[in-house]
Chains A and B, each alone.
Chain A
Amino acid sequence: MIKHHPKFELLQSFVDGDLPASLSAAVAIHADMCAQCQKKIALLTDQIAETSFEENFLDRFIVDDEAVDTIDFDKMIEGITESSDIDISETKVKKSIEFANKTYNLPTVLNNIILGKTAHIGKLSRTRLELQEDEIHTSLLHIEPGGGVPQHTHKGFELTLLLDGSFHDEHGEYVKGDFIMLDGSHTHNPISAEGCLCYTVANDALHFTQGINKLLNPIGAFIY
């Protein structure tokens, strides 16, 4: 059962359209698997739509000459309705990806995001999602059974969304659908006994904290 959900503020920004694409996609993927968050998002959307389009009684007293000057609504309406064509929405194809000879269906939310090449280190494989969001890096991270990420902390945030399989760290067990947001105050060492596929978003390289693992800093950059 899913135990980790995006916090309320995140859902709110998601509905407002204020999150970067990487995190918006993550919330959407989670909500597809989580009836609870789906319901909250639906309620929040109804409410913000209502508020946005409500006739504010103050509106009637604000005469905005500038707006009237710069936009010709009648002309716009004419232009739009000139053609009676409708947009036929394409049916969504299920895309998949292969890691370690196992095929995984990808969430349809990711359908139009370009995937980069896959890189490997030990039991870890990483495929970058080319979202071009500057310091925010988004990837699909695959851990083969028995693999893990050495103990590390983050200077920024690290979001892990479990798409398939499970892993555990010192805080507990995580399953498909779990939305795990960590920041610099967390240290962890995820290990996956049965293997897993994660959608990850991070805005800074991971920072390894333990003895010999400090030598592993290339992995930190790799995962980020």
Chain B
Amino acid sequence: MQTNLLSRVTSDKPIHMSEKINHPQLCAWLSAVANTRDKVSFTHLFKFFGPKIQSIARGKFPNEAQANEVVQETMSNVWRKAHLFDKDKGAATTWVYTVMRNVTFDMLRKIKGNKEDNLSDDIWPLAESMVCESESFDDHLENKQLLSVLEQLPEAQQAVVKGFYFMEMSQEQLAVHLNLPLGTIKSRLRLALSKLKVQLGEDND
């Protein structure tokens, strides 16, 4: 599946927080499910995610019963595993996506060869952050600091910097992805970098 990764940036929206999704609300519901087993919040979550999960699953499974099983399995995992969600480590959408992708992966594997080994939670753990907290990587601190400074840049510039440094896309690739002239990419990158330098202090380069 090709994702239109950075396309929303062209309309100058932030990369992480789409205006189309009320993230704080989803997060509050998920926390209420985790902390107080709140059925009303779960119902809200179900109404939000259920139909979307169903339509995504329909694209991946040959029959409808299986797509419905993905909804059933994903949402009951959300109910039973909500305590594993850590709101400091990512959005509720990311966590539910992981649950859904894992259910789908295990089911597809089972359908293809009767393999019921449920490997997905080992491959994509639900409880651990994807972001490394280990001290063993020397560029870690620097990256963390860079990320927090990055958040202060205008969104259009953020997208270019993130694409360039974290996704290692070339300026040409970025231009295609963001549907912008190469010159715009270059000037945004230059602008962003000069601001970053000021924020990070000159001794950082």
Interface residues of A (CB under 8 A from B): 8, 12, 15-18, 21, 24-25, 28, 35-36, 38-55, 66-67, 70-71, 73, 76-77, 80-81, 84-87, 89, 108-114, 131-134
Give the interface centre of B118, B168, B169 by most chain A CB atoms within 10 Å: B168
CB of B132 within 8 A of CB of A48, answer: no
Min distance, Cβ B73 to any Cβ of chain A, angstroms: 10
| Residue contact B137 to A24, C-beta cutoff 8 Å | no
A67-B51, A112-B119, A132-B113 given. 20 additional CB < 8 A pairs? A8-B169, A15-B101, A16-B1, A17-B101, A17-B105, A25-B122, A38-B130, A39-B132, A39-B143, A45-B97, A49-B91, A53-B52, A54-B21, A76-B75, A80-B42, A110-B122, A111-B122, A112-B122, A114-B117, A131-B115
| Range for the number of chain B residues in contact with chain A | 35 or more
**Whole-angstrom distance between the alpha carbons of A54 and B13 in the complex?**
13
Binary A-proximity of B154-181 (CB < 8 A = 1, otherwise 0): 0000000010001111000000000000
Question: Count of A-B contacts with CB under 8 A?
Answer: 164
Given contacts A51-B3, A53-B52, contact A46 B96 (CB under 8 A): no
A131: chain B residues within 8 A (beta carbon): 115
Q: Which of A21, A73, A111 contacts B109 (CB 8 A)?
A: A21
User: Given the complex, which residues of B lie within 8 Å of A89, measured CB to CB?
Assistant: 81, 84, 126-127
CB 8 Å contact bits of B108-138 with A (1 = contact, 0 = none): 0100010101111011101101111010010
Contact mask for chain B residues 59-92; partner A; CB cutoff 8 A; 1 contact, 0 none: 0000010001001100111011111100000110
User: With a CB–CB cut-off of 8 A, which chain A residues contact B43?
Assistant: 77
Do B71 and A16 have beta carbons less than 8 Å apart?
A: no
Cβ of B168 to closest chain A Cβ, rounded Å? 8
For B126, the chain A residues whose CB sits under 8 A away are 89
Q: Determine whether the beta carbon of A35 is less than 8 Å from that of B79.
A: no
A131 to B105, CA, bound (A): 14
Query: Which residues of chain B have C-beta atoms less than 8 A from A50's C-beta?
Result: 16, 18, 21, 91, 93-94
Complex-state Cα separation, A73 to B51, whole angstroms: 9
User: In the complex the two chains form, what is the Cα distance from A18 to B123 in whole Å?
Assistant: 13
How far does the Cβ of B8 sit from chain A's closest Cβ, in whole Å?
8
A52 and B3 CA atoms in complex are apart in Å by 9
- Taking CB atoms, residues of chain A closer than 8 Å to B75 are 76-77, 80
The complex places the Cα of A153 from the Cα of B20 at a distance, in Å, of 50
Which residues of B have CB within 8 Å of A16?
1, 3, 101
Beyond A81-B39, A89-B84, whether A76 also contacts B166 by CB under 8 A is: no
List 6 A-B pairs, Cβ < 8 Å. Answer: A8-B168, A38-B132, A53-B96, A55-B20, A81-B79, A89-B126
A135 to B43, CA, bound (A): 44
Binding site secondary structure of chain A: helix
Chain B residue nearest to A31 in the complex (CB): B130
A73:B47 contact, CB within 8 angstroms? yes
Can you list the 6 inter-chain pairs with the closest CB atoms, starting with the nearest? A49-B97, A42-B130, A35-B137, A17-B101, A49-B93, A49-B94
Partner of A112 from the list B47, B118, B167 (CB cut-off 8 Å) is B118
Contact B56 A52 (CB under 8 A): yes
B39 adjacent to A113 (CB under 8 Å): no
A residues less than 8 Å from B115 (CB atoms): 131-132
* Pairwise interchain contact B96-A12, C-beta atoms closer than 8 A: no
Contacts of A87 in B (CB 8 A): 77, 80-81
Q: Is the CB of A47 within 8 A of B131?
A: no
Closest Cβ neighbor of A73 among chain B residues? B50
Chain B contacts with A in 1-17, Cβ cutoff 8 A = 1-6, 15-16
